[in-house]
Structure 1
Amino acid sequence: MHFGLAARGLAFGLVGLAGWSSPLAAQDAGAWRLVPETDLSAMLDCFETSGQTLVSAHRGGPTPGLPENAIPTMDALLAAVPAIMEVDVGQSADGVLFLLHDDRLDRTTTGTGEAAAQDWATLSRLKLKDNWGWITPYAIPTLADALVWAKGRTVLQIDFKRSANIDKVVAAIREAGMGGNVVLIAYSVEQAASLHRAAPEMLLSVSIDAPGDVAALAAAGIPKARMVAFTGTRLPRPELYRELDQQDIEVIFGTLGRPPRSIDAVIDRLGTDERYAELGKEGVDILATDRPREAAAALTEAGRLPKPGQCGVSRGG
């Protein structure tokens, strides 16, 4: 099978083949940076007050030739649009934290079997496939490398795979000095409480379907100031967004998901990219999407995309 980038005739100049440590687009003039001026909560408040909607790139914004959960992929996206990056963290059999979504290696790498059952020496020799099945030149990145890359560039949303030890992930984030630049993803009150105990200084993405869910999270010891509300991937809920806004809790809504039923897929099929901007106007503060470039273009057209010099956003330098 051919390398995805070469097969499509895309320029290798955007991201070096020698690995992520070689000069990347986000280090060059023109790349976007999203770095909180004080703390991440204040940055999100600033976007909301300014009527801006932030793009969160699901699995780092993969595109043909650039695989999901890869540093070159995130770097290429950040060269194009201001976005935060959602990544998935697993753990090898010998304790190394790495980025990979699936429990198995087969879909996204040249390996087979359970990822967590392999040692890092084995995992590090594999190559990543893009979402169209083409083998790329890129290897599975460690969480440590992703954190080094993200520092001073953007915010990471961390999704925990079952193999990942919470305390090890939190320790890695702190060691990288990224505690104020991450959002930890929780899917239940119990998981949110565990994450908050482990990392009380970090923001949490918590699942909220009704205002009463906020009370349940607060009763578990999680301050509202640490909450960012993930409100699902199916139906927009402007009335819920208004109630969360009154409690000073920012809203994430996901247009991502498996085609053909995901909102991203429907928007793409119907050619209605303006819907991304409409969701922002309805109260969505962060759009979690598989189409970050298209979402950013629609938000730009509507004057809702963050601009350089605003809320810790800059470009170039």
Structure 2
Amino acid sequence: MALLAFTYPTLLQAQPLHRLPIKTVQDLHAYFKWTNKKTPIISGHRGGMGKGFAENSLASFENTLKYTPAFFETDPRLTKDSVIVLLHDANLDRMTTGTGKLSDYTWEELKKLHLKDAEGNVTQDRIPTLAEAIEWARGKTVLNLDRKDVPFPMTAAIIRQHKADAFVMLTVHSPEQARYYYEDNKDRMFSAFIKNKQELEAYEKAGIPAANLIAYIGPTIKPENKELYQLLNGKGIMCMISAASSYDKLPNEQERSSAYRSIIEDGASILESDRPLEVAQALKLLPATKSSSANSTKIK
């Protein structure tokens, strides 16, 4: 038993990770450019979740990459002393052993807290800084930074500081937000809220190239999506549906698996989910040309 206790973590650590084939900004843009030969891409919402793995934790990111290629939507927030950390909620109560507003704590104080998984179980992991996450992600995956309370200049500065434009993208809710980051660096990649033709035209009018965009089109399959697929794919823009607020909440794995496949069969090319490992298993049942396994290499 003592031998098993010693070797099991070592075996887990040695398990190879899927690595996205991205080293340059050109690779980043090519990876997210739609073609009719492209296989589906999985996004781990808040980094993905699972029993024993907390959202927005490096452990959750790494656990996902042990089983499937993926990139990760994550949530930067500011501490009291202006350190950028990863946590979805403005309050600590739901996902950590702390209470109250994150912004009332310094980074040194937050280091003492532990993260909880989705079931409320306390893990050994602590809140990571964005800087730690960026360095962890280098050579492995892409981070998609959602918009929370971090000022735009601070977000742009940390990406520059870590020379991370090849593997950090930004969620933007308007063309004005995209324009700020684009003017700072024209290589920036955006996950943009584009749910109709008029919103796409607004990004085009703001001068944001199609090559710099993926489009979040909503949380569900609906008839209007067909027009969006044709319009956006025609410009080389991938369409993303997020199941986090919709199909992820179906009561059993079989129903969720069917819904995940339906999203891809309907025409979406990126599927964002709190359950990226379930998504990976579900998509294996699609025809070989739709498999996501071609989107990565593996590394130790």
TM over 0.5: yes
Q: Aligned pair in 2 of structure 1 residues 230, 175: CA closer, same or farther (>3 Å)?
A: same
Counting only pairs closer than 5 Å after superposition, residues 28-177 of structure 1 correspond to structure 2 as 28-36=14-22, 38-45=26-33, 48-162=35-149, 164-177=150-163
SS of corresponding position for 1:301: coil
SS of corresponding position for 1:55: strand
Q: Aligned pair in 2 of structure 1 residues 172, 235: CA closer, same or farther (>3 Å)?
A: same
CA deviation after TM superposition for structure 1 residue 12, in Å: 9.7
CA deviation after TM superposition for structure 1 residue 181, in Å: 1.1
Q: Hey, what's the Cα distance between the residues in 2 that align with 1:12 and 1:199?
A: 47
Q: Aligned pair in 2 of structure 1 residues 316, 267: CA closer, same or farther (>3 Å)?
A: farther
**Structure 1: runs of 5 or more not aligned:** 1-10, 17-22
The reply to whether residue 246 of structure 1 matches residue 234 of structure 2 is: yes
Of 164-173 and 199-208, deviating more is: 164-173
Q: Hey, what's the Cα distance between the residues in 2 that align with 1:189 and 1:217?
A: 5
**Is this contact kept in 1: 2:194–2:216, CA < 8 A?**
yes
**Is this contact kept in 2: 1:52–1:280, CA < 8 A?**
no
Q: Hey, what's the Cα distance between the residues in 2 that align with 1:267 and 1:273?
A: 11
SS of corresponding position for 2:92: coil
Q: Give the TM-score taking structure 2 as reference length.
A: 0.89
CA deviation after TM superposition for structure 1 residue 169, in Å: 2.0
The reply to whether residue 316 of structure 1 matches residue 295 of structure 2 is: no
Aligned residue in 2 for 1:181: 167
**Is this contact kept in 1: 2:146–2:170, CA < 8 A?**
yes
Q: Hey, what's the Cα distance between the residues in 2 that align with 1:198 and 1:92?
A: 25
Q: Aligned pair in 2 of structure 1 residues 13, 124: CA closer, same or farther (>3 Å)?
A: farther
Equivalent residue for 2:292, pick from 296, 306, 315: 306
**Is this contact kept in 2: 1:29–1:315, CA < 8 A?**
no
Q: Hey, what's the Cα distance between the residues in 2 that align with 1:40 and 1:278?
A: 27
4+ long deviations beyond 3 Å: 11-16, 267-270
Q: Aligned pair in 2 of structure 1 residues 114, 315: CA closer, same or farther (>3 Å)?
A: same
Q: Hey, what's the Cα distance between the residues in 2 that align with 1:284 and 1:157?
A: 18
Q: Residue type matched to 2:278 in 1?
A: E
Q: Residue type matched to 1:250 in 2?
A: M
**Is this contact kept in 2: 1:166–1:198, CA < 8 A?**
no
**Is this contact kept in 1: 2:197–2:228, CA < 8 A?**
yes
The reply to whether residue 208 of structure 1 matches residue 194 of structure 2 is: yes
Q: Give the length in aligned residue pairs.
A: 290
Q: Aligned pair in 2 of structure 1 residues 24, 149: CA closer, same or farther (>3 Å)?
A: farther
CA deviation after TM superposition for structure 1 residue 298, in Å: 1.4
Aligned residue in 2 for 1:274: 258
Q: Hey, what's the Cα distance between the residues in 2 that align with 1:176 and 1:32?
A: 22
Aligned residue in 2 for 1:19: none
Q: Residue type matched to 1:145 in 2?
A: E
**Is this contact kept in 2: 1:183–1:202, CA < 8 A?**
yes
**Is this contact kept in 1: 2:35–2:236, CA < 8 A?**
no
Aligned residue in 2 for 1:255: 243
**Structure 2: runs of 5 or more not aligned:** none
**Is this contact kept in 2: 1:188–1:207, CA < 8 A?**
yes
CA deviation after TM superposition for structure 1 residue 185, in Å: 0.3
**Deviations 1:118-163 (Å, cap 9, x if unpaired)?**
211111111111111111111110111101110000111111212x
Aligned residue in 2 for 1:3: none
Of 271-280 and 121-130, deviating more is: 271-280
Q: Give the TM-score taking structure 1 as reference length.
A: 0.84
CA deviation after TM superposition for structure 1 residue 106, in Å: 0.8
